[in-house]
Each structure stands twice: as C-alpha cells, then as structure tokens.
Amino acid sequence: MRNRERGQPADLPSLPDVLDAAARIRSHAIRTPVLRSSTLDAMFGTRLFFKCENFQRAGAFKFRGACNAVFSLSEDDARCGVATHSSGNHGAALALAARLRGIPCRVVMPRNAPDVKKAAVLGYGAEIDFCVPTLAAREEMLEGVVARTNAAVVHPYDDARVIAGQGTVALELLDDVPDLDYVLTPIGGGGLTAGTALAVKSRCPGTSMVAVEPEGADDAYRSFRSGERLPSVAPQTIADGLLTSVGVRNFALIRRYVDDIVTVGDPAIIRAMRLVWERMKTVVEPSAAVPLAALVENRIDVRGMRVGMVLSGGNVDLDRLPW
Amino acid sequence: MRNRERGQPADLPSLPDVLDAAARIRSHAIRTPVLRSSTLDAMFGTRLFFKCENFQRAGAFKFRGACNAVFSLSEDDARCGVATHSSGNHGAALALAARLRGIPCRVVMPRNAPDVKKAAVLGYGAEIDFCVPTLAAREEMLEGVVARTNAAVVHPYDDARVIAGQGTVALELLDDVPDLDYVLTPIGGGGLTAGTALAVKSRCPGTSMVAVEPEGADDAYRSFRSGERLPSVAPQTIADGLLTSVGVRNFALIRRYVDDIVTVGDPAIIRAMRLVWERMKTVVEPSAAVPLAALVENRIDVRGMRVGMVLSGGNVDLDRLPW
C-alpha cells in the first residue's frame, strides 16, 4: 500500500508466473474456444480470432486471476477466507474460486452494480457488503471487512497473482493461433491488459499489443500518453466493467509491454456488441465489445492483418439491452 | 412428388451418404464446437453436451444440408441455379451455398418470416419471392419459379442429400463426445432429426435418440404415435423454425431410427432459451432451445446421463426477444 501511494510498482509478475498460473488453474478453468466469423472478416478486411472468455466459468476472464490467487494462498492464509471489492465480474469469479477451495468469501460491491452480477456473487455462496460507487468507499469498506474477518484480500486487478492468471488467456490464444499481427484487449483496471501484454511480448515479441478503452473512462489512455498514472474522476460509459482506473502494477507492465492505447465512444461499443451477438451468436457484455469497437470506429488500421481479440465477458442483463 | 402423395418414401440416405456429405462440405462448413455448462449440469443433474450449430455458417445447421445438395449437383444441373421454399434458415443456407458454388438462387418465403431471416437471404445474394404462409402457397409459387428458371429444387428437409448433410452434425458430435446416453434434436420438417438419428443409430446403436417438438406444432409427435404422417393444420409456436410438417423421407427414417418424440410448451421453450443465453452466453433462436425445454418441463428423465443436444440455430431478431 505504501508502495502504491508512492506510485512505485511492487512485485511484478513475469512469464514463469503466468506459466505457473496456467498449471494451477488448469483443472478449474475452461480452456475457452477461439471463434471466427467470415462475415466480420469481410466487413473489416481482416482475419479476426475471438478468444471467448465469455464462456469462462462465472462468465468472464476474471475467474482465471481469482482462481490463481485463491489457490496460491497457503493453508494458513486461506483459513479466514478471501475478500475483495468489485463492480461485479471479479466478485463472482472470486466467490466461485473460494467455493472451489472451500473457504469463505466476502465481496464489497457498489450499490449500482447490475443485478445479474449481484445475483452471480450470491449464487456462488459469497456475502455482499454494499457501498456507494466510489473507489474510496469501496476501499474503506473492504478495510472494515478485513479488520473483522482477517480475510486475505484479492484485489480485482492490482495484484501480481491476478495479473499472472489473466495472462493465461494469451498463452492459450497464442497456442491456438500462430502468427498474430495484433492482440487487442479492453482495458479497465488493467489486469487483462497487463497479463496479456506480458505473455504476448514474452512469447511473440513481433506481435503488436493494443488496449482499447471507452472515451468516458479514458484514464489508461491519458496515463499512457503522459507517462504517469492519472486516475479517472466520475467515469461514465456503457462498458460497466471498465469504469475502474489502471492499477500501479498494471501501469508498470503496460508501459513496458503495450504498444498503444486507443479510445472508442459508447455508440461504437453498442454497435460492436450487437455485431458480435448477431454475427457470432455469442452473448458478450458491453466491455467485451470494446476492442471490436476500435475497428467499427476505424481507430486502428488492421486491414489484411491477423488480429486476436479477447471477448472478456458475457454477464449482461437480458432485460436491459442497450439497443 | 407422386411418391410423396402416396405416402411412400423414395430414395433414403444411409450412413455412407452421410460420410460422403461430410467429405463434400468439409472445406465449406464450420466444424462447430461442443460447449458445456457446469451450472446447467447441476440444475438438471446430468451431463449436457451442446453441439453449437448456431455458430454454423448462415447461423444454423441448415447450411450442411444445403451445401451438400448444391455441391452434389452435376455441372449441367447446377447451371440454372437452385430454388427452394423456406421459412428462413434453409433459404439463407441455400443462398450461401449457391454463392459459394457461383450459381443463382431463388427462395420462396412466407411474408411473415422474421426480418432477420429475410435480410440474411438477400445478404447472401439470393432473390426472394414472397408468398402467403401456407405450405400449398409455397409449393405453388416454387413450381412457378422452377417453370420460369429451370432451377434445381432443393427441398428444405424432404431430400436425401439434405438429410445426409444434416447427419454430419451427429458424426462430429459422436467423434467429440464418446458414450452418449441420449441425443436430443428439435423437430420441424425432420431433416435434422432424420439425419441425426440415421448417423447415431448407425454408429452408436446403444444411444437413445429423442426428438422434441413444440406442442403447438406437434405433427411429428402425433404421426410417430399413430404410425402415419398427420401434417399440422395452422401450427402456432414461438419456435418459428419448427412450423413445418414432417416430410415423407424424414418420417420413414424417424420410424426406423428414433426412439421417442416428446412435446413441450412455449413457456418452457422461452425459459430454456433464456437459460442458454444467460448460462452458456450463446445466442440461440427459440427452435434451438426446444430440446432443453424437455428437461425444463421434465418430459424426459436424463438424470445421471450423458446427453448430447443440438443447438440448431441462432438467427433471432434482437429487437424482438420473447421475454
């Protein structure tokens, strides 16, 4: 925490940590398929490879990092359970990982989190503590939970074990699809982006790594351009999984391994989301459609290229679709 | 046609025809994945294997049969193109197959077909002739089209080449998942059911083959029980792909190879459809959810069993969801 306040990254994961994570989560996580769409390929003049983390357990890539963190704990550390704060997917993922290890889990969630995400956390047997939707309120309430329960905190993204776990997405993608020219991820807190970038650049240095961020929550974009972390104030976007600001460890890895960050507007995100539903027959949440939105808005020129994209999650309220 | 009127099956496909079809369509069709859901397994106390034909080209298994038929035509027969009548998925599938072979395609469609299905047919470059939504009107208009164009007719289901093509779904499912206790398909005209049953019983005689039909379009159920074809009159169901009555060849194969047919109500179909969307993150049309609806309504006891289910298609209008 002191390190974080000074803006200095603490322990950063490296490729062996990602490989360890892959072995640790193998029997729990789904090795998700890579889907293609000839219609979308034709539409964008490119070859797209969609890594379907919406099919991951608990409906998002977040399960990988949470699972790696939970199963990294010593018996002693695990005894009092785990706790976190999360707008949703990490909470559900940690709840499921804790259940698989047979330990308790408490999740601090903002009151305005989607109902479907609250239900998922409860469904996996965790307890929820509701707070107002600010980072300060989340952290304060989480400190209280930890003081009472002595639970081990698993941060949703600024955690070496979590970043290493998310990096396993890229290991699988690179194994299944050789010779990618680009890998694109959505970016919120930066767990997926940092882990993916670390794995991609360690394995395939010639592959370009680009993160895509909603304009209304563009702290990673501004931070990347300025060279220092500039957290968001009151971010607003349909991509509810990307409201958080980039973490310290995440930013350190992003500066080292990410080639570029571009931003997209909510209308393009909604259009990209609908394209994925209609053309790929797969349910993704708005955050997962953010990389494709960069092609919809022509923010990145990938014509003729082989492009890997992570469809990060599929937890969306079917009664409140954005079209 | 004379054969059909006398109720006698004409040429019936056999396993070698299905194997030929698999070789013929291999370079055109997608080898669709089999997805699982631990949540649905727990919910129904079973092990479910979903063969995702909603990821097939043109969004449904229909592409397999259409593709096999189009690429079975001699150069001479192919020259004037192909024609069919279809409530939607077969039309789009035939249009795509014809485009791949570079021949013209005309599709007779009922005016009340979903917009998304009309758009797909047009998008693949075929021409549509609209008719009133009765089988008689469809067939009459198709005869007119054939008289004018000399196109080769590819019936949506009552065609040995089409049935053999649909049977390739089962070949792949059985290759990927050994030791299935049950295979479940939705049934409309019976192309998928007949092809699947033929392949399943030829390859794995110990596997039970059950077709599931909407109560509001239960001609296959009644025909199976009575032993003679009893076409539907004015069928009504949310499962718009299953309004057609079982064909002659289809019924002959169904009597030979299908173990049972059960029916389900529209509320169970809608609930099953939503379960697939929410839990499996995959977009299916109502017809595709019909087999799972049989578990929702407890119409078939598969507890503890290994059950293969064909998710037949994913072409649904995202602006008109049934919940």
pLDDT digits (tens, 9 = 90+) for B277-315: 999 999 999 999 999 999 999 999 999 999 999 999 999
Residue A207 has what DSSP assignment?
S
Residue B133: predicted pLDDT: 82
Across all residues in chain B, what is the average pLDDT? Answer: 94
Distance (Å) from the alpha carbon of A136 to chain B's nearest alpha carbon: 32
Q: Count residue pairs from A and B with Cβ separation < 8 A.
A: 50
Task: With cut-offs at 50, 70 and 90, classify the pLDDT of residue A276.
Answer: very high
Question: Which residues on A lie below 8 Å from B277 (Cβ)?
Answer: 283, 318
Mutation target among A124, A271, A281, A283 for the B interface, most CBs of B within 10 A = A281
Q: Does B323 touch chain A (CB under 8 A)?
A: yes
Task: With cut-offs at 50, 70 and 90, classify the pLDDT of residue A8.
Answer: very low
Give the span between the Cα atoms of A308 and A183, in whole angstroms.
Answer: 5
| Mode of pairing for the β-strands spanning A34-35 and A47-52 | antiparallel
Residue A25: predicted pLDDT: 98
Contact of B116 with B315, CB cutoff 8 Å: yes
For residues A36-56, average pLDDT: 96
Question: Which residues on B lie below 8 Å from A33 (Cβ)?
Answer: 33, 35
The share of chain A scoring above pLDDT 90, in percent, equals: 85
Predicted TM-score (pTM) of the model is 0.91
B22 to A184, A191, A264, B64, B69: CA distances (angstroms): 35, 43, 43, 9, 12
Give the model confidence (pLDDT) of A207-242 as tens digits: 999 999 999 999 999 999 999 999 998 899 999 889
- Candidates B32, B34, B28, B36; CA nearest to B65 is B28
Give the span between the Cα atoms of A188 and B214, in whole angstroms.
Answer: 44
A137: left (phi over 0), alpha (psi -120 to 50) or beta: alpha
Task: Please list the residues that pair with B312 across neighbouring strands.
Answer: none
Give the span between the Cα atoms of B259 and A314, in whole angstroms.
Answer: 37
Tokens of A322: 């954005």
Q: Which of residues 113-172 of B touch A (CB under 8 A)?
A: 116
Tokens of A288: 């997962």
pLDDT at residue B317 is higher than 90? no
Give the model confidence (pLDDT) of A151-177 as tens digits: 999 999 999 999 999 999 999 999 999
Partner residue facing A281 (CB), from B278, B283, B319: B283
Query: What sign results for the dihedral spanned by CA atoms B266, B242, B300, A54?
Result: negative
Residue B9: predicted pLDDT: 52
Task: With cut-offs at 50, 70 and 90, classify the pLDDT of residue A5.
Answer: very low
Give the model confidence (pLDDT) of B123-161 as tens digits: 999 999 999 988 789 899 999 999 999 999 999 999 999
Contact of B89 with B117, CB cutoff 8 Å: yes
Q: Are A283 and B283 in contact (CB < 8 Å)?
A: yes
DSSP string, A46-87: SEEEEEEGGGSGGGBTHHHHHHHHHHHS-HHHHTT-EEEE-S
Q: Give the three-class secondary structure for B282.
A: strand
Task: Please list the residues that pair with B307 across neighbouring strands.
Answer: B48, B182
Question: Which residues on B lie below 8 Å from A52 (Cβ)?
Answer: 281
Query: What sign results for the dihedral spanned by CA atoms B155, B158, B164, B165?
Result: positive
Give the span between the Cα atoms of A153 and B95, in whole angstroms.
Answer: 56
Residue B5: predicted pLDDT: 40
Give the span between the Cα atoms of A80 and A5, in whole angstroms.
Answer: 27
Containing B130, the helix (H) or strand (E) segment is strand B127-131
Cα separation of the two ends of chain B: 41
Give the model confidence (pLDDT) of A66-81 as tens digits: 999 999 999 999 999 9
Residue A86: predicted pLDDT: 86
- Candidates B80, B63, B78, B65; CA nearest to B18 is B65
Across all residues in chain A, what is the average pLDDT? Answer: 94
Residue A320: predicted pLDDT: 86
Question: Which residues on A lie below 8 Å from B38 (Cβ)?
Answer: 57
Give the model confidence (pLDDT) of B17-43 as tens digits: 999 999 999 999 999 999 999 899 999
Give the span between the Cα atoms of B278 and A318, in whole angstroms.
Answer: 8
Residue B134: predicted pLDDT: 82
Residue A206 has what DSSP assignment?
T
Q: Which of residues 33-72 of A touch B (CB under 8 A)?
A: 33, 35, 38, 52, 54-55, 57, 59
Give the span between the Cα atoms of A166 and A196, in whole angstroms.
Answer: 7
Partner residue facing B33 (CB), from A33, A278, A323: A33
Residue B308: predicted pLDDT: 98
Residue A1: predicted pLDDT: 36
Tokens of A73: 């704990």
Contact of B191 with B166, CB cutoff 8 Å: yes
Q: Are A55 and B38 in contact (CB < 8 Å)?
A: no
This complex has an ipTM of: 0.88
Residue A6: predicted pLDDT: 43
DSSP string, A248-288: HHHHHHHHHH--EEEEE-HHHHHHHHHHHHHHH-B---GGG
Give the model confidence (pLDDT) of A89-138 as tens digits: 899 999 999 999 999 999 999 888 878 788 889 999 999 999 998 888 98
Task: With cut-offs at 50, 70 and 90, classify the pLDDT of residue B105.
Answer: very high
Considering only residues A88 and B111, tell me which one the structure prediction assigns the higher pLDDT: B111
For residues A288-309, average pLDDT: 97
Residue B86: predicted pLDDT: 86
Give the span between the Cα atoms of A109 and A112, in whole angstroms.
Answer: 8
Query: What is the strand order of the sheet B105-110 is part of?
Result: B127-131, B105-110, B82-85, B152-153
- Candidates B189, B177, B206; CA nearest to B85 is B189
Residue B88: predicted pLDDT: 76
In chain A the beta strands, taken as DSSP E runs, fall at: 34-35, 47-52, 82-85, 105-110, 127-131, 152-153, 182-186, 208-214, 260-264, 306-311
Contact of B111 with B133, CB cutoff 8 Å: yes
CB count, 10 Å around CB of B16? 10
Tokens of B15: 């396993």
Residue A110: predicted pLDDT: 87
